[in-house]
Every structure is written in C-alpha cells, then in structure tokens.
Structure 1
C-alpha cells in the first residue's frame, strides 16, 4: 500500500506521525553536523523543501522532541547510534520569516517582533525556572509586541543566553526564509531603512552571540554581506552553484523514478523527465523540484505546478524594464539556446536597477535558469556562467510573465496577433496603437530610459510576446544578420503553407514630416539590405514573404 500524499505539509513531525509520503532527506542532518560550520546559509529556489528540512533539523536536535525519536525510525540518520544519542539534546530556537510580506517598514518590523514574541512563547517555561533572577524574568516579560526596535534586535541573543544558562549547552538557531522580508522591502521601497534594522538583528543574533553553537539559515537569494551580514566572517554560504548539500534539497532522479514505480507509473518516467527535470546544484545534475513531483504523483496530470505558485513580481518588474541587450538574451533562452554572462552571485538589492547582471543572479537563484558550466577568465578569475532555461515548466513561467506585460491590453494584443497572421494591416494599426498606449510606460520603467529607447524597450518586449503567442506556428528571430544588415524581426513559418514575415521598426526622425515617411523608410531598408536572404535560403519564395514597417512617434504607431 502506497503512502498518502499530503500537499504543502511542511511539519516534519506531522508527516512522519501520519505516515504521509516522504522522501528521506535525513542525511542532510549528518552532512551539516559533520561540516562543523558555525553559520550556514543555504539558498535554494522556492518549493524545494527548505522549510521541511528546517523542521526536520528542529525535530532532530530540539529538546522539545526528546521523547519523539521514533519519527526518525526507518530513516538513514537513525542507522547510526551516535546520531540516535544526539537526537533531542539541544536547546533550539526555530523561526521563519516566510510571512513577512508587508508593504511598509513599520508593519514589516512589527511582524518580525511578533515572530520573536512567538519564539519566546515556545519557551515560556523559562519564567518559572529558579536559576533566573527576578531581573532576568522581568526582561523576559518585556518581550512583547510593543517592545522597542533595539529590544527586538537583542531579543534572540538574550533568549540564547537564557537557554544556555538553563541547560548548560549553547543553542542552535534555525532561521527559515531569511530573505523574504528583504525582497518585499526592495519591492515596496523601504529597503535602506529595513536593511539597517535587519543588519543589527543579524549581527546581535549571529555575530556577537556567545551563546550560539551553530546556526542554519535558508532563503532563495544570497544577499550581500555588506547589506545585512556585515563583518560576519564565520558565515558559510551554499548557493545553487555549490556542491555541498546538492542532493539534500529537491528530488534526485533516482528518488523520482523510485516514486513513480511506487505509485504505479513507471511508464511516465520519460515524460516526467522532460517536464520537471533540469535543476542543477553544483555539479549535481538531474534534480527535480519536489512540489511538481508530489503534485504529479497525486494528480497524475502534467501541469506547471511549481511555475504557478508565484507571481514573480520582482523578476517581472526588472525584466520588463530591462535593456534591449538583456531582452535579446531572453529571446535566446526561450528559443532553448544557451547564453554566457558574468554576474556576482551576491545580490545587492539597492543596485538591481543599475546593474542588470544582478538579474541573472536572481533568475539562477530562483531556479528559472540553470548553470551549465562556469568558466573563470582573466587574472582576476571572473566567473562567466553558461545559462539555459531549466525545463518545460519554467518555459511556461516565462511565457505567462511575457503575456502579463500586455495585461492592460491583453484582448487587443490577441486581436493584433490574429490580424498579423491574417495580413489585415488596418486592424493591425488599430490594435497596435491601443497596445502601445496601454503598455509603453511599463517598458520605459528604467531610471535612465531615453525618448529613443522607449520604443526599443517596447519592441523587444513585444518580440518576447510574439515568441509566446506564435511559437507553435513560427520561429521568431530578432536582430540577426541577413543580406547586408541586421533585421529587427523575422517570423519563419514552421509549415511552409504560411507566409513568412519581416518586421522593421523605426523611430520617426526630425527630418521626416510624417509617420508614413518613416514607414516607407523602414520598408525601403528591408529591400536595400536584402533581409529576405535568410528566408530565401530556406526555400521560401519572395511572393510568400510579407514586409511590414513599424513607425514610432511617442506612443503613436503606424504600420505599413
């Protein structure tokens, strides 16, 4: 009889006590303990088992679970006697910042204070212990939702001291989703002030805390030490490009295939691999995200389960306003090609809009792109990453993101695509002007966008939308060499019964009196530069190639 699958349950004890489906990841306990590292920060994409693993650590080490060692019976960690003796022997502080998603500084800090107060409630028995002075007990009682910022920043360090005094043993601290509030602070515009609060909290908890034995933090991104971990020299950072703990988060292919056998679906292995395989941690390949696999095992239907669990607001905002060069790289990725880029795996949120390379770091950390290879170049050994899109599920995530860029004019966007395919220039003009009017400002969101770059940003966003909307009918290529120059967009039909298309975009120059003149200039350029050459080489006759000139002036567009 197969175990029942509980979707979304992140409490290790509950999973084991109720005999729900569980893939054994307890070797993570051994690997982490034997590393001997003081403070370990592990970054993994969302829904990769971070919270469940942190709950597992808590259940294994915490004195509160000293009588519940049976939940580890039958698992790999329980095979070693020294670990059976270790279970339930440490004072533990276990917190999660996953719910800190407030849109302003005051509410975010208040939410963290509430979480700290809850951590104290879990150890309310301390107030009754005789080893504490009245002054110390009074300090415990002062940890309330109304405490000052400074009191909150010192509270976890002080709780560590109380637990250390009572048990004669330094504490373990497990902090899950440490970076969630930092991302929200950046999105909602209170980054600088909030980073200062978090820096003081982290320094007191992890840097100047003499009662701390070891700690583990998890998150999606590796935020720079300068931002929140200043002078924390004993921090070991494990990112998606590290080999450590590579098989501890996410499912290995062996685990996935064993699960498919267990649930009577051995014939689905190739299909599941095509959809959900592709994640890489360090040199370890063929990692699957647990969320999609467990949902598939339960529902037995192929769906973009993981891709549908996040709005990706920050990534969408950054990509939408990105430069032409970055959007061209996105085109390559969606066309399942590799790109080679240089970036720093540390993310400095305050520089995201100034340093576009940081967006690649964010996409890798989030799991949407995978690192195929790292090459270290030059005297300074700068890392250059070969990136590709992770799998079919992440293709769907990008597709939905690109569609959302045109949400304000989605109906008109779809109608424009129909008009384009049907060759209806009048309708194309009608709908394209509505689309441009509704969405131009989004593509001009960069801080240094110029009048000239506005249509360029819009056009490249539009190309990405085309990649999504017509990819079954056409191969969409942009800014490639053909004839004597570089065309803007070519649509190459997958079925030669359809017409090919060349789209040339031009901004109206001051010497051009009308948009019609600009259109004619665009059309003339297609002829003069012989952009048809690539299409003719593919065997498409000239009479099956349509030319379109797009002329931009502000938010006005004319197509001819």
Structure 2
C-alpha cells in the first residue's frame, strides 16, 4: 500500500518516539515549518529530506511509501532483524501457498501493523463492545504487555473522522457487522501516557506536556481552518504555546490540566459532533510520581487532567481509559456517576486483552512453533472475566524465537510493588508465604483502589492481581478469593521479589540453590553461611521458623523443577521443607531446621540430629527415587549443614 509522504513522515516519527518539537530541533527548522510537512501543507527540499531520513533512520523510498521492506522496531521491543519475522506456508484446506505475513514483535500502532501485513490476532470485537456500551466513561484495568496500547490504537483508527481506515479493517471481525457504518465518524482525542515517566516533578511536567502537545499538533491545521470565537481560538493557541514552553510554571500546569477538555470543545465546533477520548496507560504518571517520591507535587496536575476531561467536559461523547490500577478514587473519580471500572474479574472486554488458547494455537501453527504442555505451564494461567488467556507478549516472543524463556518478567513498573513489600504487615507475610509454599493463598483483595492511597493488605493484593503477578483461581465472595501464581514465567518475578525482600542478590540465591540441586552440599553450605551473614537483621533470626521461612521464600527459585511442601504431614510427622522433584534426573530433598541459643551446644551435633529425625519419622515415605536428607542447625548467623542420601 502506497502512502502519502506526510502520512509516512508522521508514522515514522511516532515509531521513533519523537515529538514534532524534537524533530524540528534535530532538523534545525521551526516547529511550524515541520508541522506543515506533516499536515501536507508544505514539502521539504531535497537536503531537508535527506536530514529527515537520517534522523528517522529510514530510506527516502520508505518516506514516500515505496518498497515497504524495512521493519521498524517499536520502542521496548525484542529486536531480531528489527523484530519482524516473516511467516509463510501452505494453506491446509486449499493446498495453495499462503500470502506472506510477518510477526511484528512489540508493534503498538494498528495502522503500522496492518500496512506491514503483520500477523494480527483479531481483537476488533472490542470496537463493538465499546460502541454498544451503556457507560460514557470506562476504565479497563489489565497487566502490562497485554495489548492495551495496540487495542487503543485500533479503536482510534476505526473511529477517527480525520482518517480513512476501511482497508485496514478488511477481513476483520468488525468488518462483518453493521458497526462498520460507524467507521471514521467521530472526532477523536487519543493520548498515551505510556512514556510519562520521570525522576522529578519537573521531568513529569515535560512528559505530560509532550504527550498533550502531540495531539494538539495533529489538529493544528484543522483548527486553523475552523471558524471559532476569538476567545476559543485564543485559549487553544495559549494552551499550545504553554505546552511548547519549558519549565514547571503555574501557567503551564494550568494549561496541561485543561488542554484535553478545551481541545474537545474545539473539535465539537469543527465537526458538529462530540469527541471520543481515548487515554492509554493513564496511571503511568501516577505510578512514576509515587515511585519517584514527588507524587504530592504533581497530584493536582494529574487529577486536574482527568477531572476536567471526564467530569466537566460537555464536549465528551464517551471515553475509554486503560491502566493497571484505579488511582485517586476519592478525589478524581468522585461524582463521576457514569464511570464503570472493568477489572480482571469483570466480564466486560474479557476476550479483548491477551490471547485465548485457540488464538495461541493458530499463531504458533503459523510460525512453525509447537503448542505443548510446557508452553501452557509457562505462559497460561490468567483469567479475565470468565476467559482463560495467555500472555500475548510472551507467546509472540516464543513464536519468533522458539525458546521457552521468561520474556515478560514484569516488563512494567515493579518499584511500587517492591516498596509495598518492604512495608507489609504480618498478615500479608503469612499469606505471601502460603503463596510461595503452595502456589495458592486465600486473601481479601481490593481491585478498585490504589495501594499508595490506601496502603493495606487488601489493596496490595489487588495491585498484584491487576499487575498480573498473581491470578484469581476462585472467587469465594465479593473480595475474598483464592489466588495463585499464574505460570512458570511469573515465578521468575517472585524470585526477584524474594531477593528484594531478603535484601540479598538474586544471583547469590540462584548459585546457592544450584549447588543444592547438583548435590554439592559442601558448596551449598558455604553459600548458605554467606547468605546468613548478608541478611540485614540479626534479630530476624530468632527461632527455627525464621530460617524455615527464609528458605521457603527462596524456594520460589525452584518451582520449575520441584513441588514445594512445607510442614505437611508425611510419614510419622511433619517435615519442615519437602521438595518433590518433577523430573527424574533431580533428587528429592528434605530440609529440617534446628536452632539453639546455647553457646556450648555443638551445631554439628544438632545438624546430625536433624538428619536422624528425618530418617526416624520417615518424612520421605511418599517420595520415590533418590532423596537427600539435609539437616541445618543455627545459632544466630552461624550454621552447620549435615546430609545423607537415600538411593532409590
């Protein structure tokens, strides 16, 4: 498909994550001159064309929509050959060769994906659900990397009256419905705060202004051709100038707060229709500000954007927001009676984010990758509403690389989660230990509140559910549920969190447990002693249970190869920690912990007693194959380890 130069220029700039202001600065021209290039009102000379090609790292052919052979890697993508993989094969029904399609890893722009003939898992049913909704304002909460930005881009492409999108939706689910009459019928304001992250309040103001400025610049030519009142035109121009200026001034902060609502008003005048507002990753600046310690400095600006856009906006047709949590519930959303929040447990949009099992099988078949039980254990385990879904980012990466690896590994912000874990209560710690020990826990979870505004256990569990760290296995009542770690990939994240909680290096734990699994008990004991010395507080090691719980947390590192049982009935008693090997090449293990304050007691003898207890009480009664009996004796940060091996 050939595309006009100004459209290609806009697309490549967006792919590179640049604003119009940044482009004009790099090219050494005025912002208005560059804006005219993208609007099609002016054309650059050849020298400027070459400079544009260099800045955007693309060919002149590509800028003019010819020979679309290059692959443009989206920011944050996994890049191999620019993260674009060709898929071809033979149609099993007709025997004819299929048209070549490409698997584009990390693409978040719907038009780019379709024009590149990228493999697309059809989620256009979301358009029908959105247009058919009773609610004027909807907030959809989903984990990072589950397709929120791509879906919002798809929705914007379908609705935006400034675009012509029929070809992009050919053959999709929505194209076979009567809803096609709604295509390109609305003025749309589409803003993504995906990259609104900063270390300071000043930096955040710059990021917010940049995101809003892009949408203002997109409509500059339209506004200039529209008959507006002098007051409305002056307000629009003043807002735009404030968004372009630098500094954290009060004037600029006010412009940021009201920029969206006033743009909607202008568009209503221009198109005689109210505006659809799409706000992607709306909570990213809240999370960044909280993690950076400057939340109170920008809270007024952030709440002002949402409040003026959603509550006092008479030019709003409807709005859709996405994020990973609901924030500022009492201050921002109070009085917004037409808001519905769709969390991961609600039925709305259940099949629109993430891949269903059939979609996964189709994708892997196209890519020549196998769908196996290992794939299911690695990437499955999420339930949105009543729908079982897989992590789409990880499935796409696996389809391209054919390697079962942890690709997601909490690709979004986890600093908020870490900060929360550092302040957790005793009740949270108990449930967390249950989760590590059993893979499940029963918790009271509040999914519709922000942890840093309501820092209790229920909000923390709700945040972990919304972030995709744990999944709801069973809903017992409105807020009481059984949660689980969704899959083996997410266990990798719990390794990082466990290391953070213990204040030790993740690599130190991995190395120690590798020695244990390899039956190199002497080296394991050496690393174990080093680990105890690195723990931050001597007073945390006060009884047998302290060491037991510490080691239990580390067993998150062994979930892939072992079933972990703690204090479970076995033989003639309850062993402290029983590790059942999932593969025959690994030994089963039983760890028994002892503790004494007696300075005259020999830790070596106490460790031998622990081994004897394992044998005497037959904790290995249910184990088949080789078993390691491991006794660990402690006094403060001193430890001795003794062991024996039972052969099969």
The answer on 1:209 being equivalent to 2:313 is yes
Query: Among 236, 241, 244, which residue is 2:345 paired with?
Result: 241
SS at match of 1:346: coil
Q: Paired residue for 1:184?
A: 288
Q: Paired residue for 1:280?
A: 383
Residues 135-154 of structure 1: pairs in structure 2 closer than 5 A: 135-143=231-239, 144-145=242-243, 146=245, 147-154=251-258
Q: What is the CA deviation profile of residues 168-222 of structure 1, one whole-angstrom value per residue up to 9, with x for unaligned ones?
A: 1111100000111111222222233433332222111100111111000001123
Residues 346-385 of structure 1: pairs in structure 2 closer than 5 A: 346-350=448-452, 354-376=455-477, 382-385=478-481
What's the offset of the Cα at 1:456?
Answer: 7.2
Give the conservation status (yes or no) of the 8 Å contact 1:324–1:460: no
SS at match of 1:4: strand
1:70–1:458 distance in 2 versus 1, CA, 3 Å: farther
* TM-score, reference length from structure 1: 0.82
What's the offset of the Cα at 1:77?
Answer: 1.4
Paired with 1:4 and 1:58, the residues of 2 have a C-alpha distance of 23
Give the conservation status (yes or no) of the 8 Å contact 1:501–1:546: yes
The answer on 1:289 being equivalent to 2:391 is yes
Q: What is the Cα-based RMSD across aligned positions, in Å?
A: 3.7
Paired with 2:385 and 2:507, the residues of 1 have a C-alpha distance of 43
Paired with 1:33 and 1:249, the residues of 2 have a C-alpha distance of 17
1:327–1:9 distance in 2 versus 1, CA, 3 Å: same
The answer on 1:11 being equivalent to 2:112 is no
Query: Among 315, 332, 352, which residue is 1:228 paired with?
Result: 332
Paired with 2:340 and 2:307, the residues of 1 have a C-alpha distance of 15
SS at match of 1:120: helix
Residues 156-167 of structure 1: pairs in structure 2 closer than 5 A: 156-167=260-271
The answer on 1:395 being equivalent to 2:395 is no
What's the offset of the Cα at 1:36?
Answer: 3.0
Give the conservation status (yes or no) of the 8 Å contact 2:592–2:614: no
What's the offset of the Cα at 1:294?
Answer: 2.1
Give the conservation status (yes or no) of the 8 Å contact 1:328–1:460: no
Paired with 2:337 and 2:501, the residues of 1 have a C-alpha distance of 42
Give the conservation status (yes or no) of the 8 Å contact 2:604–2:640: no
1:137–1:422 distance in 2 versus 1, CA, 3 Å: same
Q: What is the CA deviation profile of residues 227-259 of structure 1, one whole-angstrom value per residue up to 9, with x for unaligned ones?
A: 532322211111100111111111222222233
* TM-score, reference length from structure 2: 0.72
The answer to which structure, 1 or 2, has the higher relative contact order (CA under 8 A, 6+ apart) is 1
SS at match of 1:123: helix
Paired with 2:359 and 2:505, the residues of 1 have a C-alpha distance of 44
The answer on 1:313 being equivalent to 2:415 is yes
Provide the aligned length of Structure 1 versus Structure 2. Answer: 531
SS at match of 2:335: coil
What's the offset of the Cα at 1:48?
Answer: 1.1
Give the conservation status (yes or no) of the 8 Å contact 1:399–1:468: yes
Q: Which runs of 5+ in 2 are unaligned?
A: 1-97, 246-250, 642-648
1:551–1:418 distance in 2 versus 1, CA, 3 Å: farther
Q: Which runs of 5+ in 1 are unaligned?
A: 377-381, 445-449
Q: Paired residue for 1:219?
A: 323
Residues 106-145 of structure 1: pairs in structure 2 closer than 5 A: 106-143=202-239, 144-145=242-243
Query: Among 182, 191, 199, which residue is 1:103 paired with?
Result: 199
Paired with 1:18 and 1:393, the residues of 2 have a C-alpha distance of 30
What's the offset of the Cα at 1:296?
Answer: 2.5
What's the offset of the Cα at 1:78?
Answer: 1.9
Q: Paired residue for 2:635?
A: 551
Of 270-279 and 228-237, more deviation after overlay is shown by 270-279
1:410–1:91 distance in 2 versus 1, CA, 3 Å: closer
Query: Among 77, 82, 88, which residue is 2:174 paired with?
Result: 77
Give the conservation status (yes or no) of the 8 Å contact 2:611–2:629: no
Paired with 1:304 and 1:114, the residues of 2 have a C-alpha distance of 33
Q: Paired residue for 1:43?
A: 141
